[in-house]
Structure 1
Amino acid sequence: VGQAVVVLREDRAGEKRLVGYVVARDGGCAPAALRRALAVRLPDYMVPAAILVLDALPLTPNGKLDRRALPAPDFVPTSYRGPCTPEEEILAGLFADLLGLDRVGIDDSFFDLGGNSLLALQMIGRIRSTFGVEVPIRTFFETPSVVSLAPQLGRGGTARLALSPRRDDRSNAIPLTPAQRGLWLLDQIEGPAATYNLPLALRLSGPLDAGALAGALAAVMERHESLRTLYVENDEAEAQGILLPSPLGANFTLIETGADELPARLAQAAAYAFDLSREPPCRVTLFRLAEHHHILLIVLHHIAGDGWSMAPLLRDLATAYAACRENEVPGWAPLPVQYRDYTLWQRELLGSEADPNSLAAQQLRYWQAALAGLPERLALPTDRPYSRVASRRGDHLEFSIDGTLHRRLSGLARESRATLFMMLQAGLTALLAGFGSGTDIVLGSTVAGRTDQALDDLVGYFVNTLVLRVDISGDPSTRELLTRIREVDLAAYANQDLPFQRLAELLNRPRSLPLFQVMLVLLNTVEPNFVAPAVTGELEFVTTGTAKYDLTIAFAERRSADGMFQGIQGSIEYATDLFDRDTIAHLAQQLLSLLTAMVEKPDQVISTLYSIPECKK
Structure 2
Amino acid sequence: ARGYLGLAGQQAERFIDSPFVRGERLYRSGDLVRQRADGSLQFLGRNDHQVKLRGLRIEPGEIEACLSRVDGVREALVLVHEHPHSGQRLVAYHTGQDHAAQYLRERLLEQLPEYMVPALFIRLDGMPLTPNGKVDRKALPAPEAPVRQYQAPQGPIETALAAIWADLLGVGPVGRDDNFFELGGHSLLAVRLVERMRQQALAADVRVLFSQPTLAALAASVGGRAAVEVPANRIPAGCTLITPDMLPLADLNQDAIDTLLRQIPGGVANIQDIYGLAPLQQGILYHHLASEGADPYVVQARFAFAGQAELDAFVAALNQVIARHDILRTSLHWQGLDEAVQVVWREAPLLLSPALETPRLDLGQAPLLRLSSQRQDGRLEATLLLHHILVDHTAVEQLMLEVGALLQGPAELPASIPYRNYVAQARLGADPQADEALFRELLGDIDEPTEAFGLREAMAEAHSVGESRWPLEPALVARLRGQARALG
Relative to the length of structure 1, the TM-score reads 0.40
Structure of higher RCO (CA pairs closer than 8 Å, 6+ residues apart):
1
Relative to the length of structure 2, the TM-score reads 0.50
